[in-house]
Amino acid sequence: MRPSSSFSVSGFSVHLTPLRWLILGLLFLSTVINYVDRQALSVLLPTLRKELGLSSEDYGLITTIFLAAYTIAQIPAGMWIDKIGTRLGFCISIVGWSLAAILHAFVRGPVGLMVCRCLLGVTEAGNWPAGTKAVAQWFPQKSRALGMAVFDSGSAVGAVLAPPLVAFLALHFGWRAAFVATGVLGFVWLAGWLVVYFAPQNHPWLSEEDRARVLEEVGPAPKPAGFAAPLRRIIGQRALWGLMLTRMVATPVWWFYVFWLPDYFSKGRGFSLVEIGLYAWIPYLTVDLGKMCGGTLSDRLLARGRSATFARKSVMLAGALAMLCGIMVAGAPNAAAAIAWTCVATFGFGMWSANILALHADIFPAETMGTAVGFTLMAASLGGALFTYTVGKVVDHVGYAPVFWAVGLLALMACFGLFFLVGRAERIRET
């Protein structure tokens, strides 16, 4: 591999490869913050059951409202980011969801939580369209699955950090202070983003040689387009609808573990808030391990000459088989076994997740990326909202056992869309 050239800025040298990873680090951190903010409510649920009188049905409705808002916002957020660009789009998105997270501290009951979760859902919708677009603009195909894995792994790291962080804040300063403290994180991130991130074609830290290199590797800069132009280009593509169906069926697995796992450990295994803080993060760590392993394996298969279709889909099938282990959780003989089976299932979801994002970058041009991801995330969020609402209805009446069976089987069902509807992982042609 030839070394990157460098360009001196204010007395220090900036190389292309470190710059790529610095940008990826910021994308990773935005996703960490995104998940800490959304996960704070599930960690505090045992406390809010007492403080605000929440039932499981209330909580199911609140999370469904979040997902419904998140779902509705996905397509306009993706189209809007394609129009105004990743840099500005991310700024507005993170400021919005950080303010929404802080507002949770001022609620007095279930209705207030519903309003705050609705605002959080709308404003968090920009993270994945913007992040996926940024990775596609900066990373070549041969390292794109790993890049997507690192960016997307922030979701699991945020879920790992949320239980101990939020539990610590709540135990020492109160649950309201916990919402404020986690909401402030986004404003800290914003300062770094404004300094570091620009599109490759106008990044002030790149030499002309490096600029030419990155544009050769990822393709030409996106063409300026009207608000609806990317939508017109991709709306008739079979791959778009196949990915929508695949994500609608598979993504509820992740939403279940994000929103309901702390409550399961509390109600099903008798964990206290302290124990949730100590142990509930472990299955989210294995999601990240799955993303790193799945992304690396997929990229290595590409490097060995296998097609993108084989590399992405074979790893995703392995992830779906691992997610089957979710059916073992509720019947596990003890809490340690339940956590272990959950870890296998979440590892599988990590393998799946990294590669489905890479499929988007393989298929859709950069100028349509935000819109495409917005469409498939809308479908994913819709599936998650319907499943989460159903869980809220089921848990209080029959417990978690049938839910874990459903969670285990969903990924295999999603393989139908992956193998028979998505088609080959090839860039769509100009229309």
Say if 9 falls within a structural domain: no
Residue 10 pLDDT grade (very low, low, confident, very high; cuts 50, 70, 90): very low
> Does residue 430 have a pLDDT over 60?
no
Least confident of 47-51, 139-143, 242-246, 251-255: 139-143
pLDDT digits (tens, 9 = 90+) for 339-357: 899 999 999 999 998 888 8
Q: Return the pLDDT at 273.
A: 72
> Does residue 240 have a pLDDT over 60?
yes
Say if 204 falls within a structural domain: yes
Say if 378 falls within a structural domain: yes
Query: SS3 letters for the chain?
Result: CCCCCEEEECCEEEEHHHHHHHHHHHHHHHHHHHHHHHHHHHHCHHHHHHHCCCCHHHHHHHHHHHHHHHHHHHHHHHHHHHHHCHHHHHHHHHHHHHHHHHHHHHCCCHHHHHHHHHHHHHHHCCHHHHHHHHHHHHCCHHHHHHHHHHHHHHHHHHHHHHHHHHHHHHHHHCHHHHHHHHHHHHHHHHHHHHHHCCCHHHCCCCCHHHHHHHHHHHCCCCCCCCCCHHHHHHCCCHHHHHHHHHHHHHCHHHHHHHHHHHHHHHHCCCCCHHHHHHHCCHHHHHHHHHHHHHHHHHHHHHHCCCCHHHHHHHHHHHHHHHHHHHHHCCCCCCHHHHHHHHHHHHHHHHHHHHHHHHHHHHHCCHHHHHHHHHHHHHHHHHHHHHHHHHHHHHHHHHCCHHHHHHHHHHHHHHHHHHHHCCCCCCCCCCC
Count of structural domains within the chain: 1
Say if 123 falls within a structural domain: yes
Q: Is the model more confident about 294 or about 374?
A: 294
Say if 1 falls within a structural domain: no
Distances (CA, A) of 113 to 67, 109, 117, 243: 13, 7, 6, 32
pLDDT digits (tens, 9 = 90+) for 16-29: 888 898 999 999 99
Tell me the pTM. Answer: 0.70
pLDDT digits (tens, 9 = 90+) for 368-411: 777 888 888 888 888 887 887 788 778 777 888 888 999 889 98
The pair of three-digit structure tokens given for residue 370, joined into one six-digit string = 């935000």
Say if 7 falls within a structural domain: no
pLDDT digits (tens, 9 = 90+) for 149-174: 788 888 778 877 888 899 899 999 99
Q: Is the model more confident about 60 or about 339?
A: 339
Say if 425 falls within a structural domain: no
CATH number at residue 312: 1.20.1250.20
Say if 2 falls within a structural domain: no
What range defines the domain where residue 81 resides?
15-420
